[in-house]
Amino acid sequence: MQGLSGNEFIVILTGAGLSAESGLGTFRDKDGLWTRYDLEEVATPEGFARNPALVHEFYNARRANARAAQPNAGHQALARLQRDWPGDVLIVTQNVDGLHEAAGAQGLIHMHGILDGALCAACGHRWTAPAVMAPQDPCPACAAPATRPDIVWFGEMPYQMEEIWFALRQCDLFVAIGTSGTVYPAAAFAQDAGRAGAHCIEINAEPSAVTQDFDEVILGPASQTVPDWVASLLAQVTRKADR
Ligand code: BV8
């Protein structure tokens, strides 16, 4: 996108494809998580009620993988954009790993929760999740054996939706990176932003299920396409500053 002033408000939605090159699996690619686990069993409140031990096992394994992973050039480039772009840059991530934070991201919303978070289903208390969580763990605040991963499961309200919808209505540029466009309400964000006048860019390894909602599509691995895209934006700002 050319002709940017540098004051544009940019909202960036990220998905599992951004963390894929950090060694964390995606959900719907070949060998993806949902090809090996039944989503209904491990990512719904009903599944957790039926078999909390299985769900904790699933998230304990992902928490260990995520804690051992490093941010890649895509995460680093987005943190650089937040530092060097004069306008605001908000990252809304569907990812539950901590790789955006590890790369130095500032304005960040984890709309589907975080693996490092634990939540008490009885009193709502939140704390940093231990490496291994188990069904009978007592809540540190109310002692109820009602602890769960602080993750948004299917059928549950994603976090900070009012803030996200407000940002989508205000932004000049909406960019979706590494997400298949199959999970709502995130899959509708490009439509929401485009309807409010934003220019929408999709950055992905392949066109998503909602690719038609975007004005521009950049295909390739995020560890290359995202740094290139960020460099092209910052070059416009630097050129202006040099005048
Ligand atoms: C909601 C938990 C109401 C964390 C996740 C019936 C009842 C209730 C709800 C529904 C229903 N039917 C439909 C719904 C809505 C439902 C939904 O959308 N279902 C789908 C399956 C149809 N949504 C919900 O239930 C949501 N809540 O609707 O509540 C409501 C609605 C509006 C407002 C308020 C309330 C809750 C959804 C959250 C569920 N939790 N995960 C965890 O375990 O991780 S979702 C799960 O999928 C992940 O968290 C992830 O966020 C999400 C999307 O996956 P992606 O990130 O896109 O990953 P995916 O593998 O799919 O794609 C990877 C992409 O990367 C691909 O495009 C690939 O090409 C690309 N890629 C791969 N490698 C690279 C790459 N790109 C670049 N470079 C690479 N190297």
Q: What CATH number is given to the structural domain containing 16?
A: 3.40.50.1220
* Residue 220 lies in domain: 1-23+71-112+158-243
Q: What angle do CA 237, 238, 243 make, to 5 degrees?
A: 100
CA dist 45 and 55 (Å) reads 10
Please report, for the domain that includes residue 62, its CATH number: 3.30.1600.10
As a whole number, the mean pLDDT across the chain is 95
Based on the fold, state whether residues 45 and 59 are members of the same structural domain.
yes
Rg (CA), the chain: 19
pLDDT band at 242 (very low <50, low <70, confident <90, very high): low
Taking only the tens place, the pLDDT of each residue in 126-179 is: 999 999 999 999 999 999 999 999 999 999 999 999 999 999 999 999 999 999
Q: Write out pLDDT tens, residues 182-200.
A: 999 999 999 999 999 999 9
Q: How far is CA 83 from the centre of its chain?
A: 19
Strand positions, DSSP E, 72-215: 89-93, 108-110, 113-120, 126-128, 147-151, 173-177, 199-204
Q: Ligand 1 pocket test: which of 27, 42, 162 has the largest number of ligand atoms within 8 Å of its C-beta?
A: 27
Q: What is the pTM of this model?
A: 0.95
How many structural domains comprise the chain? 2
> Is residue 19 within 6 Å of ligand 1 at its C-beta?
no
Q: Is 56 one of the catalytic residues?
A: no
Comparing C-alpha atoms, which of 227, 184, 242, 241 is closest to residue 209? 184
58 lines ligand 1 (CB under 6 A): no
